[in-house]
A and B are shown apart, each in its own frame.
Chain A
């Protein structure tokens, strides 16, 4: 692996980025096309676009949202395996990080944060939470849509699970966007062209860099040369 322009380090593959954005966009469109039923204040969405159109749109987006991760598992296998294995190896280190991270949210620097791997503790929590919430959303959504096939005792619970998961997943996604865009803007490039600034990687994911060096994917010299420019 080579650094790009001696400055940027590849982090995500193109297919992985594509699946991320399909997921993100369909998620937001699903949330806002479902919202009129959860929140009276958003009834105007139905009024402007027509209730039936918005509901049909919700179902079509739902299909995309449902199959997207399965396609991802096949066509961006590396990135998805990484997410799963990172979540599976959640450790005390991650918990300490997440607990101490607070003040960074409002732009203060926290010293003595444990060095982090490919994903930090907060990201791992976010990934795990979204996997669960979106999993329930996708399945309860499909079940609601084809509700003729389900027992009638189940249906009101499906509505309840669907809306609580939508709420949780939406609030979490706002936090995720805030962290990316406001707190660590350096990370956004990773979801645009797939590479991140080496300094950003060093500050936020130093154990990942160490891992790359250990695996021989990048030479220590190249890394140090690139980092030297920042001194």
Chain B
């Protein structure tokens, strides 16, 4: 197995400069997205869009003591260990690569948007023009050439890091210990328990995940597995079986009927027959 790679965002170090947003757009040739109105906040876009794979969120919050906080986080695809988007794609257009990135194959994608519905974070966004789904691809093309992802490379505060799993976990655990020592009681890691990965994108968070708008227990829906593992196979069998069964029954039906008619050409048989001829 290829060595797993991990991207790390240390929220406590992030200065909110948004250089990573720009770098992401640059590498992926994505146009500026001017769709969001200015509402007097530092928050730029409300959510990821089909031309914004990476968003630095600026949530404003007053804590219990009435102190103002900006909760800044680099928001993007988590590259989940078990990616709901890929598991539930009817076209098998999304692949979890051996070393970690979860990547959409545009050629196979049919734009059904199921991936967005099946992602616990609702990350993938449909590009209306191309009618294809889009999201962060961990710059897998750069990685395969031995480069850093564009966002990690450009980070001005060394908040974004990228590398092999062991190294990243080591850094994450160390930073977490520092935060705890500084008195951040709720500090935690996200995407990992410090040892195993539930995602190849991990965070060091000074506060609870919900403070940053992240679900505490992200989970791929059982509804998706019901659809994929039960309903789809039944659907194929039932639709195909019904068609085949129908053909079979028509043959048997016509055999039974013609036998009847040989025996006795009674009025009822004739009547039904010429009625059928008319239709």
* Cross-chain contact A159 with B227 (CB below 8 angstroms): yes
23 A-B residue pairs with CB within 8 Å: A37-B114, A51-B111, A51-B131, A52-B131, A106-B249, A144-B117, A152-B120, A152-B122, A153-B221, A157-B221, A159-B88, A159-B114, A160-B231, A163-B227, A163-B232, A167-B238, A170-B239, A171-B238, A182-B250, A188-B279, A189-B278, A203-B268, A231-B267
Complex Cα gap A181–B279 (Å): 9
Chain A interface size, under 10 / 10 to 19 / 20 to 34 / 35 or more: 35 or more
Q: Which residues of B contact A (CB under 8 A)?
A: 84, 88, 90-91, 110-114, 117-118, 120, 122, 131, 221-224, 226-227, 231-232, 234-236, 238-239, 241-243, 246, 249-250, 252-257, 260, 267-268, 271-272, 275-276, 278-279
Residues of B within 8 A of A192 (CB): 279
Q: Does A164 contact B (CB under 8 A)?
A: yes
One of B118, B246, B260 near A155 (C-beta < 8 A):
B118
Give, as a whole number of angstroms, the nearest-CB distance from B211 to chain A. Answer: 19
Which of A164, A199, A231 lies at the interface centre, i.e. has the most chain B CB atoms within 10 A of its CB?
A164
Known A156-B88, A156-B223; judge A174-B112 contact (CB<8 A).
Answer: no
* Cross-chain contact A157 with B239 (CB below 8 angstroms): no
Complex Cα gap A78–B257 (Å): 36
Complex Cα gap A107–B227 (Å): 37
Residues of B within 8 A of A230 (CB): 267, 271
Residues of B within 8 A of A189 (CB): 275, 278-279
* Cross-chain contact A164 with B235 (CB below 8 angstroms): yes
Q: Does A178 contact B (CB under 8 A)?
A: yes
One of B113, B223, B271, B276 near A157 (C-beta < 8 A):
B223
Residues of B within 8 A of A199 (CB): 271
Residues of A within 8 A of B260 (CB): 107
Indicate with 1 or 0, residue by residue over A166-185, a CB within 8 angstroms of chain B CB atoms.
Answer: 11101100110010011101
In addition to A107-B253, A152-B120, A178-B246, 10 A-B residue pairs with Cβ atoms within 8 Å of each other are A36-B90, A39-B235, A46-B110, A55-B111, A107-B252, A147-B113, A157-B226, A158-B117, A159-B117, A170-B238
Complex Cα gap A192–B278 (Å): 12
Q: Which of A63-93 contact B (CB under 8 A)?
A: none
For the complex of A and B, list the 7 residue pairs with the smallest distance between their C-beta atoms, beginning with the closest: A156-B223, A107-B256, A155-B117, A157-B223, A156-B221, A51-B110, A185-B276
* Cross-chain contact A41 with B221 (CB below 8 angstroms): no
Q: Does A38 contact B (CB under 8 A)?
A: yes
Which of B235, B236, B257, B267 lies at the interface centre, i.e. has the most chain A CB atoms within 10 A of its CB?
B235
Q: Which residues of A contact B (CB under 8 A)?
A: 35-41, 43, 46, 51-52, 55, 105-108, 144, 147, 152-153, 155-160, 163-164, 166-168, 170-171, 174-175, 178, 181-183, 185-186, 188-189, 192, 197, 199-200, 203, 230-231
* Cross-chain contact A167 with B234 (CB below 8 angstroms): yes
Complex Cα gap A52–B252 (Å): 42
One of A144, A156, A167, A200 near B239 (C-beta < 8 A):
A167
Residues of B within 8 A of A185 (CB): 272, 275-276, 279
* Cross-chain contact B112 with A186 (CB below 8 angstroms): no
Known A37-B112, A171-B239; judge A163-B275 contact (CB<8 A).
Answer: no
Residues of A within 8 A of B267 (CB): 230-231
Complex Cα gap A181–B253 (Å): 12
* Cross-chain contact A159 with B223 (CB below 8 angstroms): yes
Closest B residue to A171 by beta carbon equals: B242
Which of B110, B120, B260 lies at the interface centre, i.e. has the most chain A CB atoms within 10 A of its CB?
B110
Complex Cα gap A163–B230 (Å): 11
Closest B residue to A106 by beta carbon equals: B252
Give, as a whole number of angstroms, the nearest-CB distance from B263 to chain A. Answer: 12
Give, as a whole number of angstroms, the nearest-CB distance from B113 to chain A. Answer: 7
Complex Cα gap A147–B116 (Å): 10
Residues of B within 8 A of A156 (CB): 84, 88, 117-118, 221-224, 227
Complex Cα gap A74–B185 (Å): 64
Closest A residue to B90 by beta carbon equals: A37
Closest B residue to A38 by beta carbon equals: B235
Complex Cα gap A136–B3 (Å): 47
One of B117, B131, B235, B257 near A107 (C-beta < 8 A):
B257
* Cross-chain contact B236 with A52 (CB below 8 angstroms): no
Complex Cα gap A52–B128 (Å): 10
Complex Cα gap A108–B249 (Å): 12
Give, as a whole number of angstroms, the nearest-CB distance from A151 to chain B. Answer: 11
